Amino acid sequence: MEDIKVMVKPDWVSWDDIHELLLSAHKKNIEKGVVMNTTTMSGAELKEYIGDQGRCFVALCGNKLVGTTSVKICVGDRWYDKGKKIAKGTMSAILKQYQGLGLLEEMNELRDKFVEENGVEMLECDTAEENVMMRKILAKKGFKEVRFFPAKHQKHFSVYFAKWLKGCPYSDKFIKRKFALSRLLTKVQYKPGKVERSRILSIVCNGINRAFRLV
């Protein structure tokens, strides 16, 4: 196997290439109905989603694209990140034959250096509720489950994670209570695919969400 290099996405690697890699690496999950929102986007849509402030990182074996991850920079507007500059990790994928080589960890090191240089206060990401392994990995890396939400047009719910880079202002108990309430209300209000169970339930759940500042 040729040497694999990890770097910021060079111009000759197109966003369409990133799109094809996401589809290939997540093929089995897609077949099971566990679909990341970004796998449904075109190359042009991925570029727009990441924006000028974000960055895409890649792993290259020669001229072959074998891995990628990206970070989107924006300002938070929810109870856990309101007004803070956040970096959302997204679009992570490694081709099967290149997994287990530590490529994602190497790309994440580049990501962490990038967000540190850009004054980011929080790292955030999400994964499917059923992706227990990823949830455990994120927990070990200091991320907290802060929000539960329905994945639109998909057969699963998603868990949103946050990691405070300058000290968490909340207790673990408080965060767990917020997440548990978010999960309960989401499952009462929606069926998988973000399908409302009833209009009355939605009105009640939205009112509770606002009262407890979950949205």
pLDDT (tens digit per residue) in 101-119: 999 999 999 999 999 899 9
pLDDT (tens digit per residue) in 117-133: 999 999 999 988 988 88
Q: Write down which residue in 64, 96, 120 finishes a domain.
A: 120
Q: Write down which residue in 120, 136, 164 finishes a domain.
A: 120
Please report the pLDDT score of residue 145 as a whole number: 97
**pTM of the predicted structure, to 2 decimals:** 0.84
Taking the CA atoms of residue 82, residue 190, residue 124 and residue 210 in that order, the dihedral angle to the nearest 10 degrees is 10
Q: How would you label 180-200 residue by residue, b for 16+ Cβ within 10 Å and e otherwise?
A: eebbebbbebbeeeeeeeeee
Could you give the 3-state DSSP secondary structure of residue 83? Answer: coil
Phi, psi of 208 (to 5 degrees): -65, -40
Per-state percent for the chain, helix, strand, coil, to nearest 5: 40, 30, 30
Tell me: do 32 and 83 sit in the same domain: yes
30 confidence band (pLDDT: 50, 70, 90):
low
Q: Greater confidence, 30 or 8?
A: 8
Residue 1: pLDDT over 60: no
> What does the pLDDT average to over 35-57?
88
* Total domain count, the chain: 2
Phi, psi of 134 (to 5 degrees): -65, -35
Instruction: Compute the radius of gyration of the chain from its Cα atoms.
Output: 18
CATH number of the domain encompassing residue 50: 3.40.630.30
CA-to-CA distance for 111 and 105, rounded, in angstroms?
10
Q: Write down which residue in 101, 120, 139 finishes a domain.
A: 120
Mean pLDDT of the chain: 90
> What does the pLDDT average to over 170-199?
93
CA-to-CA distance for 70 and 203, rounded, in angstroms?
36
Q: Greater confidence, 174 or 25?
A: 174
